[in-house]
Amino acid sequence: MARRAKDPDAGIPDWMVTFADLMTILVVFFVLIISFSIQDKEKLEIVAGSMREAFGIKYVERKAGMIEIEGSPVRDYVKRISQISRDSDSDFAEKSHNQRRKQGPEANTYDIEKTDVELPRQFAVAAASLRQAWRELPEITELSDNIQVEETPEGLLIQLVDQEGRSMFPQGSVTPYERTVKLLAKMAPVLKGLPNRIQITGHTDASRLYSKPGYSLWDLSADRAQAARRILAENGLPHDRFYSIIGRADAEPLFPEDPFLASNRRISILVMTEAPPFPIDLRPERARQKK
């Protein structure tokens, strides 16, 4: 007579319970290790970049609009702006006021030794002030993607960028829309509070629809830059603060891979990282000649 096989015990085997306990302990152990470890962000970015290059993926950095997740127009200054005390604006305004009150050879001079230290802070305050000024405009939600603010080696770069269906100027025109005028008008008081000179550059896309006989994209971009200068001047920015007004046509596209993209049409306003120059009459060599 064949022996009947013994039925297995009900429930899971004992070894599985022990194995599950071991896995749980290992998971907790590795979680603790990760939580106590210090992540080197720079090394992680290098590793990530190496992986992208290894897989043939090219990372293209594109600037976001003025309103981001945290509501800040300058990524590099997000942490620094949050750490600036509320009296930073008043302190900076007081310094600028005292600078303008100087008399004689000290007038229009700038403390060169403090420039490298103070400029980032001043630019951060200026970016925050611009953000606040633009928020007062009811059209800001519509135009948030048209505004870019970033720090560059040359200075604080503010760009009014066209988007598909939402341009700063009518097609082929040098007269800006009313919303563009309001944006520029709000910038003037903030820029006036900085001692730095301003460079304005106009850019177009590669489309030739805007060019006419005897009037090229170079003319159009230069005239749009001049229009921006006039609006800033009419709203209080002194004429001697403008360093240069340039038209670059389609020579410097924001997106070189697509020169016909609407975002290549823009007005760039650069707050230059330089000490304001001596007026001609107050330069040291002129002072010596007068003696």
Q: Tell me how far apart the 2 most distant CA atoms of the chain are, in Å.
A: 132
Residue 44 is predicted with a pLDDT of 63
Tell me if the pTM is above 0.75.
no
Q: What is the DSSP string of 187-203?
A: HHHHHHTS-S-EEEEEE
Long-range contacts of 216-219 (CB under 8 A, 24+ apart): 216/249, 217/249, 217/250, 218/247, 218/248, 218/249, 219/247
Per-residue pLDDT of the chain (291 residues; tens, 9 = 90+): 556 666 666 667 778 888 888 999 998 888 888 777 766 666 666 656 665 655 555 444 444 444 443 444 444 443 343 344 444 444 544 554 555 454 444 444 444 444 454 656 677 777 777 777 667 766 666 777 788 888 888 888 999 999 888 899 998 899 999 989 988 998 888 888 888 899 999 999 998 777 678 899 999 999 999 999 999 999 999 999 999 999 999 999 999 999 999 999 999 999 998 755 555 455 555 545 555
DSSP one-letter code for 210: T
Please report, for the chain, the start and end positions of each structural domain, with discontinuous segments joined by +: 75-280
Contact present, 196 and 273 (Cβ < 8 Å): yes
pLDDT at 76: 44
Architecture of domain 75-280: 2-Layer Sandwich (3.30)
pLDDT of residue 112: 40
- For residues 243 and 272, the answer to whether their CB atoms sit within 8 Å is yes
CA 153 to each of CA 63, 234, 272: distance values in angstroms, whole numbers, following the listed order? 16, 29, 9
Model pLDDT, residue 246: 96
